[in-house]
Structure 1
């Protein structure tokens, strides 16, 4: 109805205003808000050209935004966005440790380059995790990844034959205020975690910020 439509528009305006205030209170001066009536995914893809990163919340404010709905939306954005995608929890803590799920795929190598060279990660300890992996070739890939960092950067490598969906959350839970970094597309097993039917399950499992790099 027209009345419910007006109520929806007003609710959207209030959410935008509240979000803008949170960002400004955090010290950001250049803030632009945009109220659109189109689909969330389509709007993000349309507006991302001049962005460095896309940030998505893990949960919506309305009950109709179920974890399954959010998971589907996130997967669609990750599949089609050309930008890094950050997925954040409701309670955000500044990352103090990076857990990097690495499989030596092209996307993972690009994520490694970003992690090793971006000033955003300066001083943050890094744990590189290769799951469902064993053998000399995998150990060599892990050693190459560790060698990408500047001397003195605290880097720890873990290689484990266990399932990625078990190993990665265990490592994430073992460090303080982690950020989980992954390539958005990889060959097994990371691809199955992020761009497959278990996307929303993985995101719900770790409960920490997740940065996906294409």
Structure 2
């Protein structure tokens, strides 16, 4: 009982750390992104806006009651493909009018979400919660990508091994990066495959995922559906 309780607690902590599983693109794109990975990209974009400090940040559906149907099975507990909303709080200096500073930060967040990740964000709700006495400290430079849990090797010649090889050969994929309760980066459910992977920050996340889905579907020996869960966005030095 103690072991089971510990495993359950670990799974809950892991899910809280990852945040929501956000749809990327539209219903046909079969791609999701962890909120944790999205937040890293957005905070780096915000750090490039002078005179502001991004504090609280959440991403979720614009309409909590909206219903979207993905073209392929979604990861467990993932949000459906619906428009998204960024809710954030920030601090800003008085070097310029606060609404001007907020607009610049809002534009940076929206640009990073759509132009770098492919999130279907239609609203950025930003509140200036604090007036800063001076410039905010610079964002610490990103460290090496977190390797996460070790990836279990796939059985040679299996569908999973073929899918893993096809996915990691796509430009912009940095590694398999499983997070959802398994050490395998490729999950099989009948004729459906889900790949959990990391992409490079200098590539458009949705474009990479689209190429992965095509490459995997073409490589495996029999027809499958393919979903991609982007679990990290790696800054490569």
| TM category, shorter | under 0.3
Q: Which structure has the higher relative contact order (CA within 8 Å, separation 6+)?
A: 1
With the length of structure 2 as denominator, give the TM-score of the two structures.
0.22
Structure with the larger strand share:
2
Structure with the larger helix share:
1
